[in-house]
Amino acid sequence: MNLENYIRDILDFPKPGIVFKDITPLLKDPKAFREALIVMEDHLKDDTFDYFLGVEARGFIFAAALAARMNKGMIPVRKPGKLPAETYRKDYTLEYGTAGLEIHKDAIDKGDRVLIVDDLLATGGTVEAVALMIEEMGGIVEKMLFLIELDFLNPREKLSGYKIDSLIHC
């Protein structure tokens, strides 16, 4: 199954000049979604880690499903003000602005091996902020896993110290 056939381009979203990679057709099709999870899981067969970490919001979808399939815990990273307990915050730059993310302060213990999951790797700014949060909390970033990677933005340059896997390269 060609998973790229289930990714829709939306022009000028969220602002002019951006081509948004819409994964909702993939999520709507149970066979395509299941295939994406199977392929992602296959990319992890040789990795040792304790938790999946899902990046708001679409990263939650894949991290939670993979965590359930692989009998692992899932840690959410959210936009500021969305988590109920005490949080740790990191601000970062996007390809079209700035943003911040938060994680519960007790989500990661020293030495926890974490696998970051998100739907899309663009410039790497978001996932770099997440990786720094994990490391500053004493955790270890085992790997980063993405459904889609925008190769033309060269995100791996920014993330050169990390193991990265992506299913679809654009």
**Number of folded domains that form the chain:** 1
| Catalytic-residue membership of 95 | yes
pLDDT of residue 139: 98
pLDDT of residue 95: 61
pLDDT of residue 54: 98
Q: Is residue 128 part of a domain?
A: yes
pLDDT of residue 15: 86
> In degrees, to the nearest 5, what angle opens at C-alpha 66 toward C-alphas 65 and 68?
65
pLDDT of residue 98: 83
| Catalytic-residue membership of 136 | no
Q: Is residue 89 part of a domain?
A: yes
Q: Are 91 and 100 in contact (CB under 8 A)?
A: yes
Catalytic residue among 58, 78, 102, 149: 58
pLDDT of residue 57: 92
pLDDT of residue 79: 94
Indicate which CATH number applies to the domain containing 109: 3.40.50.2020
Domain that holds residue 138: 48-169
Q: Is residue 37 part of a domain?
A: no
120 half-sphere exposure, CB direction, 13 A CA radius: 19
pLDDT of residue 96: 64
The mean pLDDT values, 10 residues at a time, for the chain of 170 residues are 97 92 98 98 96 96 98 97 96 78 98 98 93 98 98 96 97
Q: Are 106 and 129 in contact (CB under 8 A)?
A: no
Q: Are 153 and 95 in contact (CB under 8 A)?
A: yes
Q: Is residue 153 part of a domain?
A: yes
pLDDT of residue 67: 98
Q: How far apart are CA 143 and CA 164, in angstroms?
A: 6
Q: Is residue 23 part of a domain?
A: no
Catalytic residue among 69, 95, 113, 156: 95
Q: Are 67 and 73 in contact (CB under 8 A)?
A: yes
Q: Is residue 151 part of a domain?
A: yes
Q: Is residue 158 part of a domain?
A: yes
Q: Is residue 155 part of a domain?
A: yes
